[in-house]
C-alpha cells in the first residue's frame, strides 16, 4: 500500500537536489542503522511544506508525525532531514536591462540563478558573474536541458519596442507569442509550476480612467501590447487547466540603475526618456525629441509613472516567494499585479530632474505627437502592496542619479 504524508520544512529545498530525505523509522527502536525504515518519494515540494509518498503506510495524518505502519506493527516516526539548499531560478532575458537587475536581487535573496539569453538585445557584460547559457527560448532541446535543473522561471526575454512592433508585427508575434509559447510548453512538460512574467502597462492601451488598476480593461493599441496580453491569457488558461502558478507583473516605466554601479540601462537603440535626456545633457549627445507639448496635462507633455529598476527587481523576488508559499488549494490562476509608484512625472519634470542631477541643461526639440501615445499613464499600485507587501521605495531623484552614475561609468569603461 502506498500512502502520503504532509511534512514541514525549515528551509526551502528541492527534490532535484535531494536536499531533503524523508524516512519512516520505528519509534520503539533507537535506530541508527540506515537499513531500517523507508525512504519516501517526494511528491510535491515547496518552501516550507510538501507531501511525500512511501510504501506500507496504512494511514495518513497531516498534523501528526506518528504514523501507524500496518504491515510492520508499532508506531513509526516520520523524520525529515533537510539540509540548506536554494531554489534555482531560470531567468530568460537575464542579460537584458530588467532581467540583469532581477538576477542580482534573486542572488542577494539567496537563490541560485541561471541566465538564458540569445543576446539579441542583451549584453554579456550585464550577465557577468552569473552562469549565462546562450540560447533562444524557441530552441526547445537546449532549453529543456536547462529547465531540468531549475525550480521556477522568470521570463523577461522579449522584443520590447512599441514603435518597431507597429512596423514589424511579425517579429513581435514570433518572439513574444510563438517562441514564448514554446517556452511555456517546455516549462510545463518539465514539471515546473512557478512562472513570473514581465508584462507591461501597454496591455491597458489608452485607459479610460486613472490611476490604472488591474481591473482596467486590457485593450492594447499596438502589436507589442497585444503580444504581451496574448501571453498573459495563455498563462491564465494554463493556470486553470494545468495548475501552473504564475504572476504577471505589469511594469510601468522602468528606469535607473543598480546601486553597485556595475549594471544599468543598456538598450540599442535607446528609446527611453531618462537615458535619452541624460545623453542630451552631455556635450556629445543629440538633442532630446519631445513628442507633443499640447497634451491635456499641466505642462502639455506626456506623464508617465517611472519606477526604479531595483524596486522592480525586489518585486520579482516577492512574486516568486508568494508563488512558493502558495498552497495548491489556494492557487489563484489570475494573479496580475501593477508595478508602479502611483505618481506620474511629465517629460518636462524629468528634464528638470536630469538637469539637477547632471548640472547641465538638456537640449531639446519639440515635435508633433506620436500616434497612440496616451497623455497620462499612472499605476494604482495598491494590489502590489496588498498581495506582495511591496511598495516602490526609491524616488525620482534616486532613479535619475543612479542612471547618471551608470552612464558615466559605462562611458569610462568604453573609453578605457
Ligand atoms: N524596460 C521597461 O521599461 C519595460 C516596461 C514594461 C515591460 N518590460 C518588459 O520587461 C522585459 C525586459 O525588458 P528590458 O527593458 O530589460 O529589455 P531588454 O531588451 O534589455 O532585455 C530583453 C532580453 O531578452 C533577450 N531575448 C529576447 N528575445 C529572446 C529570445 N528569443 N531568446 C532568448 N533571449 C531573448 C535579449 O537578448 C535581452 O537580453 C521585456 O519582456 C519587456 O517587455 C520592460
State mean pLDDT over 80-88: 57
CA atoms of 195 and 197, how far apart (whole Å)? 6
pTM of structure: 0.82
Q: Which fold has domain 88-415?
A: Rossmann fold (3.40.50)
Where residue 223 falls among pLDDT bands split at 50, 70, 90? Answer: very high
DSSP 258-297: -TTSS-----SS---HHHHHHHHTSSSSPPEEEE-S-SSS
Ligand 1 contact, 151 CB (< 6 A): no
Q: Is the pLDDT of residue 94 over 70?
A: yes
13: helix, strand or coil: coil
> Which of the listed residues 104, 120, 268 should we mutate to test ligand 1's pocket, taking the one with most ligand atoms within 8 A of CB?
120
Q: Is the pLDDT of residue 66 over 50?
A: no
- Give the model's pLDDT for residue 106: 96
Which residues make up the CATH 3.40.50.720 domain(s) of the chain?
88-415
CA atoms of 271 and 93, how far apart (whole Å)? 18
Q: Is the pLDDT of residue 142 over 90?
A: yes
Distance in Å, CA 333 to ligand 1 centroid: 24
- Give the model's pLDDT for residue 257: 97
Where residue 411 falls among pLDDT bands split at 50, 70, 90? Answer: confident
Instruction: Share the mean pLDDT of the chain.
Output: 84
b (16+ CB within 10 A) / e for 184-209: bebbbebebbbbbbbbbbbbbbebee
Pick 410 or 375 by higher pLDDT. 375
Q: Is the pLDDT of residue 85 over 80?
A: no
State mean pLDDT over 76-88: 54
Pick from 185, 69, 71, 89: nearest CA to 137: 185
- Which residue numbers are catalytic? 224
State mean pLDDT over 294-304: 97
8 Å CB contact between 115 and 95: yes
Q: Is the pLDDT of residue 186 over 90?
A: yes
- Please state which of the ranges 96-105, 287-296, 316-325, 328-337 shows the lowest mean pLDDT: 328-337
State mean pLDDT over 390-407: 97
Q: Considering only CA atoms, which residue is closest to atom 21 of ligand 1?
A: 96
Where residue 18 falls among pLDDT bands split at 50, 70, 90? Answer: very low
DSSP 224-254: HHHHHHHHHHHHHHHHHHH--EEEEEEE-EE
CA atoms of 379 and 30, how far apart (whole Å)? 61
Q: Which atom of ligand 1 is least distant from the CA of 201? A: 6
- Cell 518585486, residue located: 315
Amino acid at each position: 500500500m502506498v500512502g502520503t504524508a504532509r511534512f514541514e520544512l525549515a528551509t526551502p529545498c528541492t527534490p532535484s537536489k535531494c536536499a531533503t530525505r524523508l524516512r519512516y523509522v520505528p519509534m520503539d527502536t533507537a535506530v541508527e542503522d540506515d537499513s531500517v525504515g523507508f525512504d519516501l518519494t517526494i511528491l510535491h515540494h515547496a518552501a516550507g511544506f510538501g507531501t511525500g509518498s512511501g510504501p506500507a503506510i496504512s494511514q495518513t495524518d497531516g498534523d501528526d508525525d506518528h504514523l501507524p505502519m500496518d504491515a510492520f506493527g508499532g508506531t513509526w516516526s516520520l523524520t525529515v532531514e533537510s539540509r540548506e539548499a536554494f531554489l534555482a531560478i531560470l531567468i530568460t532575458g537575464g542579460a537584458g536591462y530588467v532581467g540583469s537587475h532581477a538576477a542580482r536581487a534573486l542572488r542577494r535573496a539567496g537563490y541560485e540563478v541561471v541566465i538564458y539569453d540569445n543576446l539579441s538585445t542583451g549584453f554579456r557584460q550585464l550577465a557577468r558573474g552569473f552562469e549565462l547559457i546562450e540560447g533562444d527560448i524557441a530552441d526547445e532541446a537546449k532549453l529543456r536541458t536547462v529547465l531540468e535543473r531549475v525550480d521556477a522561471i522568470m521570463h523577461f526575454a522579449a522584443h520590447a519596442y512599441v514603435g518597431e512592433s507597429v512596423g514589424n508585427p511579425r517579429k513581435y508575434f514570433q518572439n513574444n507569442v510563438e517562441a514564448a509559447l514554446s517556452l511555456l510548453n517546455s516549462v510545463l512538460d518539465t514539471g515546473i509550476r512557478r512562472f513570473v512574467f514581465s508584462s507591461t502597462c501597454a496591455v491597458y492601451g489608452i485607459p479610460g480612467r486613472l490611476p490604472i488598476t488591474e481591473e482596467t480593461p486590457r485593450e492594447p493599441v499596438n502589436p507589442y501590447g497585444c503580444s504581451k496580453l496574448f501571453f498573459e491569457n495563455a498563462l491564465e488558461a494554463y493556470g486553470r487547466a494545468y495548475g501552473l502558478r504564475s504572476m504577471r507583473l505589469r511594469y510601468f516605466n522602468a528606469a535607473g540603475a543598480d546601486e553597485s554601479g556595475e549594471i544599468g540601462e543598456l538598450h540599442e537603440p535607446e528609446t527611453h526618456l531618462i537615458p535619452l535626456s541624460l545623453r542630451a545633457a552631455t556635450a556629445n549627445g543629440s538633442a532630446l525629441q519631445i513628442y507633443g507639448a499640447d497634451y491635456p496635462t499641466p505642462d502639455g507633455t506626456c506623464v508617465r509613472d517611472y519606477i526604479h529598476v531595483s524596486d522592480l527587481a525586489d518585486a520579482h523576488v516577492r512574486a516568486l516567494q508568494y508563488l512558493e508559499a502558495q498552497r495548491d488549494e489556494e492557487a489563484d490562476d489570475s494573479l496580475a499585479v501593477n508595478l508602479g509608484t502611483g505618481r506620474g512625472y511629465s517629460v518636462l519634470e524629468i528634464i528638470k530632474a536630469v538637469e539637477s542631477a547632471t548640472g547641465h541643461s538638456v537640449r531639446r526639440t519639440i515635435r508633433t505627437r506620436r500616434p497612440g501615445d496616451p497623455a497620462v499613464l499612472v499605476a494604482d499600485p495598491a494590489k502590489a502592496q496588498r498581495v506582495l507587501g511591496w511598495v516602490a521605495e526609491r524616488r525620482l531623484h534616486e532613479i535619475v542619479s543612479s542612471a547618471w552614475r551608470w552612464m558615466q561609468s559605462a562611458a569610462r569603461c568604453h573609453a578605457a
